[in-house]
Structure 1
Amino acid sequence: MMIRVNNMSMEMKRRSTGKKAMVSSGKEQATAIGIGILEKGGNAIDAAVAVGFAIGVAEPATSGLGGGGFMTIKSADLDDAVFLDFREFAPENATPDMWNLDEKGKVVNKENAIGAKSVSVPGELAGMVYALEKYGTMTLEEVLEPSIKLAEEGVLVTDMTVGMLETYSKYLKDCPEAKKIYLNGDKGFKAGDVLKNQDLANTMKKISKEGMDIFYKGEIAEAIVDTVEKNGGVLTRKDMNDYYVELKEPVVGTYRGYTIISSPPPSSGGTHIIETLNILENFDIGSYEVNSSQYLHLMSEAFKLSYEDRAKYMADTNFVDVPLKGLRSKEYARKLAEKIDLDQARNSSSYDPWTYEHDETTHYSIGDDEGNLVSVTKTVNHFFGACMVAEGTGILLNDTMADFATRKYDVNSVDRRKKPLSTMSPTMIFKDGKPFAVLGSPGGARIINAVVQVISKLIDHNMDIQDAIASPRMHQNTSDILYYEDRMDAGEIEKLGNMGHELFKRLPYDKKMGGVHGIKYEDGEIVGGADPRRDGTSQGI
């Protein structure tokens, strides 16, 4: 029986169906550009690269050439899916001592999150070019052309963008280049205005003509490094020149007969999505009503166990040994499941890391009828990254150094060329070897929660993908606070309180609960869904 969510008029505008292909992303312009590439004969990987460049223009606060990310690819001619790691890595001169800490251990003046000391070596362009050259069919010039035009003509400022600007304008104003673009000088932007970035258009034109080397070895690299160096950062030309993409095997697990393919370290997401699903597999969650007290309680307890393991073990496996097989073991999950009391909340931790999490990043999913699938999550880390634009380039720089632990000897502490821990989880699901769904989400450490809940609703409750995405969500990590959106039944929430949960109410459609964009294959069609917590849309052909 198909389960649907009530009052879905707004959300259903984000649902789309297609026979040949589907694109779901965080911005309508980016989705349309992806469709345009597919209609010109490009494959899903060509479209994914074009959407990647476009989303960096249309939603610059969340990703772009100054950032990095992950891409899971399953092309029709590949026996197995592959994973591209183009996450930013720490500069060679980065150390745990590079920031000043106060008596509480917090970084003074947010130097790890704002400004030059927060900038890591950007990997997005290298990742996009690698994907295009190895798995695509079109030229870099062809996939960049729509984004160049978009940057020149401008993108519509939405309410969500205005909200981001209101929060981060106090930092953006300190960088003249950022102020010029994102604060419209001193005028500011309101919803309905058009934001243009001619400098970024010019940068992309140079990349289109001269290739990636101009970014990592040429004048663009020089502009990025000069901007960082003169503001006290440690990024060097050698760091830029040394950047490389890592081709990895994705992590693979199963859930009730479905194959789950997702992100390996330095992302914790794929491993702990699989771990959480393995725990849930020991219970008949499909018999629980979605977002009932029993459903939310079981989700909460499973997430606590997974997040405890994440905090204890997860880091860049090039620097730290991580028990990946054990964490994804069904037997291990059964032992964890035995710790769950279905009637009472288990105490997990005395601290609340919510205040240290961010809800930035972007995700998009693409698939076609030939079996080409792409799932991409990418970021500049916090909204507007370091709040710095490299002079003359229009490129907003990342603040990914903020994802490292500031303590020495932590598994996620800073080291040269090390990649900080992430939860970005571009995910694919197969049933009997055939595509079932492609999805992922932004949301910091809440990505795991968002993706697991949507997967469970698709598989355990046979929900339509748009309904599964838009359905109210909860969040639980290693703290004892269960966060929930204010659309859930008050009586069920009261029952949760009686079970010992500490509860915190979020907005009805809270962007801190993620922004899932996904596609699902069903009955000869490809169905797209886009999250109403963001500005996203899906479009099919």
Structure 2
Amino acid sequence: MKKLNVALLQILYLPIFICSYSAVNAQTYGKNGMVVSDNVLASEVGIDILKKGGNAINASIATAFALAVTHPEAGNVGGGGFIVLMKSDGEVTTFDFREKAPLKATPDLFQDSNGNLIEGSNHETIKAVGVPGTVAGLYLAHQKYGSLPWADLVQPAVNLAGNGFPMTWGLYQVALRMSEMDESYDIMKNYFRNDEGLVIQPGEIWKQQALANTLSLIRDHGHNGFYLGPVAEEIEAYMKAKGGIITKEDLAKYNAIERKPLKGTYKDFEIYSMPPPSSGGVALIEMMNLMELADLNKIEFNSTAYVHLVGEAMKRAFADRAEHLGDPDFNPDLPLDRLLSKEFAKKRFDNIDMTKASLSDSSKYGQLYDGSSTTHFSVVDKDGNAVSLTYTLEHSYGVKMGSSKLGFIFNNEMGDFNPVAGVTNSRGQIGSNPNLIAPEKRMLSSMTPTIVAKDGKPYLIIGSPGGRTIINTVFQTVLNVLEYDMRIDKAIEAMKIHHQWLPDEIRYERHLMSPDTRYALELMGHKLRPVNNLGVLMGITYDPRLKVYVGGADSASKDGAAVGY
């Protein structure tokens, strides 16, 4: 739940424009622009840039760096992600700044002498860190489409880190847990402590001087401020000391890429999302194609038939994801046209039995169906330029390691590669070839930053964190808005489910699915597993009647907010 008193403290302590922001289950309106992110201060930083005449890319860059300070769980300079940009003239492009495998990475990096996966090694050790991409991606986007000086966009984050901001209750809950970690997680044990070694209390000012110094180098030197010079030298030194494999050469060779977006349609809407190495866009469009074939006028929202149909669509998309997708620079023959086609969806749809659950067979991938921590924010400016940006450290706080001299946390994205060739099992481990480890390869991602357009203008800007669940939470929210005409806050808060083919189970949000529905689904052969929450969605819609942008921040976010003007 968001804390109004904390937000007021933040405004009192920081010289930021006062803007209205969303309370739980409420919408925020803005005629001239909107930023919806996982932290109210970061959203306000973005709005401040828009007010100064910056465009959506400028605001996104400033918001992203601010989140690296205020939302360290996933906001980052030590990770990577994706941008989908729709310009006011209707042109759409994307930026891929997904992390890469280091030059010393090998296909058996996480295996023992018998070729078996060493439990936890691909998520919880220093070798799980991929070469970070965030700074490169934001800088490339700025060079192509930014309008304000780079330094002006990074400076607010420098101020937040150096001057500090009040500790929130959301961060404090994490601080208590992290302060109990053992010494192997060096940066996390002391991350939320003051100079006296005490955990900073809610309302007390939390300063991050080391991070401010790193951000200052990025402010002054752009891309090279991170990938060359003192930051790169310290990253290499830290890796050597801890047994990691990232070097200055890895950092110097890293590049972000502008890529052509994926495009799909749903009735009168156009859907734009990320291409590989994100799997999100492919799976989203495939599932929307499947739902377009269903007669949803006869299937009541959240009914047993609805949950069954959505779960079956998810199974098929995730089986195809697991079989086919990976880094396109290493897999030039990815069958994207086929996976995105309406004809392919018809083949998948005809195999759905509305009376019983289909089987998830790890030996057959999608062939069976013939006949798979992060933060997101959405931005739109007064001219109609829109940005959907998702970036991540992978698990919450990534690998939970990092140099105290640099002040940021490293990702653990190497765990998104398939760790053992040919080993796909019912627990969800995948072993298909397109996503095996190779030097400089980008690991497959589930991030799904998406912009839906109507009549050539942005209609819905949406995304979410949540690992593999991202694809399905975004899919259901898009469906809620486009098919069921839900307002953005209701679409975000509505019950979500998740099926990723393997393991063969439907995860559902505890207390949001009725007992009768659960019982009926089990009779159909579905296995069910309750979870507390799925996704933390940040979305913007356009209301053509009022001619206003409408923002909604997921109530699952501890400090998130939609801010408009």
Fold agreement, TM-score > 0.5: yes
The 1-side partners of 2:256 and 2:237 are apart by 24
For 1:345 and 1:183, locate their aligned partners in 2 and report how far apart those are by CA, in whole Å.
Answer: 50
1:68 equivalenced with 2:80 (yes/no): yes
Match of 1:449 among 472, 480, 484: 472
The equivalent residue for 2:321 is 310
Matched letter for residue 222 of structure 1: E
Residues 1:469 and 2:469 are matched in the alignment: no
Q: Shift in Å at residue 203 of structure 1? A: 1.3
Which residue does the alignment assign to 1:218? 229
Q: In the aligned structure 2, how far is the partner of 1:103 from the partner of 1:232?
A: 22
2:131 is aligned with what amino acid?
V
Matched residue of 1:83: which SS?
A: strand
Contact 1:25 1:537 in 2 (8 A): yes
- The answer to whether the 8 Å contact 1:172/1:178 transfers is no
Residue of structure 2 aligned with 1:116, choices 126, 140, 144:
126
Match of 1:400 in 2: 413
Residues in 2 aligned to 1:104 and 1:211: alpha-carbon distance in whole angstroms: 42
One-letter amino acid matched to 2:508: Y
Q: Report the equivalent of 2:539.
A: 518
Q: C-alpha offsets along residues 99-121 of structure 1, whole Å, 9 cap, x if unaligned? A: 3449793324x332223211111
Give the direction of change, closer, same or farther, for the CA distance of 1:142–1:315 in structure 2 (3 Å limit). same
| Structure 1 residues 32-431: aligned runs within 5 Å | 32-77=44-89, 79-101=90-112, 105-108=116-119, 110-165=120-175, 173-182=183-192, 187-188=198-199, 191-320=202-331, 321-349=333-361, 360-408=373-421, 410-431=433-454
Cα shift at 1:390: 2.3
Shift of 1:385: 1.4
1:458 is displaced (CA, Å) by 0.3
- The aligned counterpart of 1:356 is none
Rounded to whole Å, the distance in 1 between the matches of 2:206 and 2:254 is 31
Structure 1 length-normalised TM: 0.91
Report how far residue 391 of structure 1 moved: 4.1
Answer yes or no: is the 8 Å Cα contact 2:176–2:199 preserved in 1.
Answer: no
1:537 aligns with 2:547: no
Q: Distance in 2 between matches of 1:369 and 1:140?
A: 20
- Percentage of pairs with the same residue: 37
Query: Against the structure 1 CA distance between its residues 197 and 426, is the aligned structure 2 distance closer, same or farther, given a 3 Å change threshold?
Result: same
**SS at 1:450 equivalent:** helix
Distance 2:191 2:458 in 1: 41
Distance 1:338 1:162, change over 3 A: farther
Structure 1: which 5+ runs fail to align?
Answer: 1-8, 352-359
Check the 8 A contact 1:350/1:480 in 2, yes or no.
no
- In 2: Cα distance, 1:198 partner to 1:23 partner: 27
> Could you say what the CA RMSD is over the residues aligned between the two structures, in angstroms?
2.1
- 2:175 & 2:162 partners in 1: Cα distance? 20
Residue 17 of structure 2 corresponds to which residue in structure 1? none
**Separation in 2, partners of 1:161, 1:449:** 27
Other structure's SS at 2:286 match: helix
Question: How many residues matched?
Answer: 518
Pair 1:458 & 2:481 matched: yes
Letter aligned with residue 289 of structure 1: E
Q: Which amino acid aligns with 2:43?
A: T
Contact 1:148 1:204 in 2 (8 A): yes
* 1:300–1:482 Cα contact (<8 Å) kept: yes
In structure 1, the partner of 2:11 is: none
Measure the CA separation in 2 of the matches of 1:192 and 1:107: 42
Going from structure 1 to structure 2, the CA distance change for 1:192 and 1:494 (only over 3 Å counts) comes to farther
Q: Secondary structure at the match of 1:12?
A: coil
CA distance in 2, matches of 1:256, 1:157: 46
Deviation at 1:130, TM superposition (A): 1.2
**Structure 1 position 142, deviation (Å):** 0.6
State whether structure 2 residue 500 is matched by structure 1 residue 500: no
Question: Displacement, 1:38?
Answer: 0.7
Structure 1 residue ranges, 4+ long, deviating more than 3 angstroms after superposition: 100-106, 155-173, 175-178, 182-195
Deviation, 1:159, is 4.7
Letter in 1 for 2:245: V
Task: Tell me if structure 2 keeps the 8 A contact 1:380–1:400.
Answer: yes
Change (3 A) 1:303 1:175: closer
Match of 2:505 in 1: 481
Aligned-partner SS, 2:24: helix
Partner residue in 2 for 1:432:
455
User: 12, 16, 37: which one pairs with 1:25?
Assistant: 37
Secondary structure of 1:113's match?
helix
Cα displacement (A) at 1:489: 2.4
Q: Distance in 2 between matches of 1:102 and 1:20?
A: 60
Classify the secondary structure of the residue corresponding to 2:132. Answer: coil
Residue 225 (structure 1) shift:
1.1
Distance 1:156 1:495, change over 3 A: farther
